[in-house]
Amino acid sequence: MGEYIKRIIFLFAFLFSETITFGQSFTNVLNITAKTEKDREVYVYTLEPINNAEKILSISTLDSLGNAKLEFSIFHPQFLKLKIGKKKKELFFFPNDTTSIIFDTTEQNVSFIGKSVEQNDFLFNSDKLFQEFAYPIGGSDISSLSIDSFLNRVDSINIIQEKKYKNFSTNSIFSDEIKNILNAVIPLKLLSLKMNRYLTYYNPIHYKTSNIPNSLLDLESQTPLNSKLLKSGMNNYIIVLNFYLEIIVSKDWSSVEKDSLKISDKYLKIAFEKINKNKQPLEIKEYLLANSLYNSLKYGKGILFETYFSYFEQQFPNSPYLNKINEKLNDWIIITNNKIAPNFTATTHSGDKFDFNLLKDKVVYIDVWATWCIPCIKEIPSLKRLQDKYNINSKVLFLNISIDDNRDDWLTFLSNNLDFKGIHLNQLDDDRKLMRDKYQISSIPRYILLNKGLIVNALAPPPSSMEIDGNLDMLLK
């Protein structure tokens, strides 16, 4: 582990000493051949760093021969995403590049022709190597491994990637700066896996444990706070920054007196204090503060929001993130108390579409969950208690909405838990996105309380909280 951490720190420290030159925009041309994907939509896009929304730069449709041409402009060397049907690839382009990408019939290999061959060959082969070792066919994927096996797998991928990079670096014509940015992709992906592991199993907000592996103890110090990586548009770096923010907040969570503040206000207070105390480039500070404001709205608008938002506006009056924060705020206004509950769609266990009109004359307690969600499963015994208590009242309806991708996993869970009552629904793809957007669902479990078609609380208390009993009793009077 020690050598891996040292290499990351050295790699990112080097980036501080280099400079990317920004200039006028140029037209990039991307020719695509994917014969197995003919007639499918294809586009190039970036991911906006605050809300992760796709910003499409160019869009087309593969013709009957599987060919398409995309044209777009960029201002500096950066990572872009290519999407063909449901398949995605992250690529790196310089301004004014003309590149052809050819997918073979198995779609396992890609050929690059033109100016962007070198960097994208390296990225594609690095990602292919990562996928083979992290998610081997017929083997255990990295997320399901025990902690020791997980860390050993991370080390193994890093060692192999380092050898691949040495070969690339020796033969590359790129500047050291560009080479190091390209080489950061896999180390950052590995760092994000470790951060996710920490937040899933050792998050101090949810768990009290001293049995944390040494390599997961100080992940924030392994995080490169580098404005050039942020400007590069690398998705892995945005993921790491987002995890970094969650980790620094979680570690100070207990420092704020329990129940003294709403969750959204507590989140903002800790985040702003930690970010302002730490040293980082101004662009990184701006991003982290903006993301704190945006993330706090996952828990609704707190009483301190306007204070912190005003501070941010004064510090960064021309921030590109301001519009996204305001949009998120407006989305919450739509689902405040006594507003009409937005319609949503879902599928029953028999495959039929759910009729939203069934909810209009009921008190409805909605549980958005998944079989793979540990906190969701932990709440189910309390939810069963609640269902048993109010089951005799025909005015109360319990709606359990699963977001499992695998319907079989969902159906198997239900067959093994027949005492898990209420109406059971499953949401996939468009159904899930519709409800996520309308009800601002960014994490699960999530609970929503409705009454006769109106919002009572879009962030209702969980079943384990006796507060929900009081809410239901008030509505049934």
* pLDDT tier for residue 262 given thresholds of 50, 70 and 90: confident
CA distance 186 to 157: 9
CA distance 459 to 405: 24
CA distance 342 to 455: 9
Residue where one domain finishes, among candidates 308, 332, 356: 332
Q: What's the average model confidence in pLDDT over 162-170?
A: 89
Three-class DSSP category at 8: helix
Helix/strand/coil (H/E/C) assignment for every residue in 204-233: CCCCCCCCCCHHHCCHHHHCCCCHHHHHCC
Residue 12: the pLDDT is: 45
* Residue 204: inside a domain: no
Residue where one domain finishes, among candidates 164, 188, 212: 188
CA distance 327 to 379: 32
CA distance 276 to 457: 33
CA distance 326 to 51: 12
In a 13 Å sphere around the CA of 183, the CA atoms on its Cβ side amount to 29
* Residue 337: inside a domain: no
Q: Is the pTM of this model over 0.95?
A: no
* Residue 214: inside a domain: no
Going by C-alpha positions, the residue among 143, 110, 145 that lies closest to residue 128 is: 110
Residue where one domain finishes, among candidates 300, 332, 364: 332
Residues contacting 470, CB < 8 A, separation 6+: none
Residue 81 has pLDDT above 70, yes or no: yes
* Residue 277: inside a domain: yes
* Residue 211: inside a domain: no
Do 120 and 179 belong together in one domain?
yes
Do 257 and 128 belong together in one domain?
no
* pLDDT tier for residue 401 given thresholds of 50, 70 and 90: very high
The pLDDT tens digits for 6-63 are: 444 444 443 433 344 444 557 899 999 987 777 789 999 999 888 888 899 999 999 9
* Residue 222: inside a domain: no
Percentage of the chain surpassing pLDDT 90?
Answer: 53
Do 309 and 358 belong together in one domain?
no
Question: Across the chain, what does the average pLDDT equal?
Answer: 87
Going by C-alpha positions, the residue among 429, 448, 451, 450 that lies closest to residue 440 is: 448
Do 356 and 307 belong together in one domain?
no
Residue 471: the pLDDT is: 92
Task: Yes or no: say if 76 and 21 are a contact pair by the CB < 8 Å rule.
Answer: yes
Do 320 and 417 belong together in one domain?
no
Do 326 and 354 belong together in one domain?
no
Do 394 and 325 belong together in one domain?
no
Q: Is the dihedral of CA 88, 93, 97, 100 positive or negative?
A: negative
* Residue 239: inside a domain: no
Do 265 and 385 belong together in one domain?
no
- Residue 248 CB neighbour total at 10 angstroms: 20
DSSP letter for each residue of 400-435: EEE--S-HHHHHHHHHT-TT--SEEEE--HHHHHHH
Do 379 and 463 belong together in one domain?
yes
* Residue 457: inside a domain: yes
Q: Into how many domains does the chain fold?
A: 3
Q: What's the average model confidence in pLDDT over 171-200?
A: 92
Do 162 and 13 belong together in one domain?
yes
Residue 5: the pLDDT is: 47
Give the CATH number of the domain where residue 423 resides: 3.40.30.10
Do 319 and 374 belong together in one domain?
no
- Given strand 87-93, what is the order of strands in its sheet? 54-61, 41-47, 78-84, 87-93
Domain that holds residue 142: 2-188
* pLDDT tier for residue 148 given thresholds of 50, 70 and 90: very high
Residue 402: the pLDDT is: 93
Q: What's the average model confidence in pLDDT over 338-363?
A: 88
Three-class DSSP category at 199: helix
Residue 246 has pLDDT above 70, yes or no: yes
Do 401 and 307 belong together in one domain?
no
Q: What's the average model confidence in pLDDT over 195-213?
A: 85
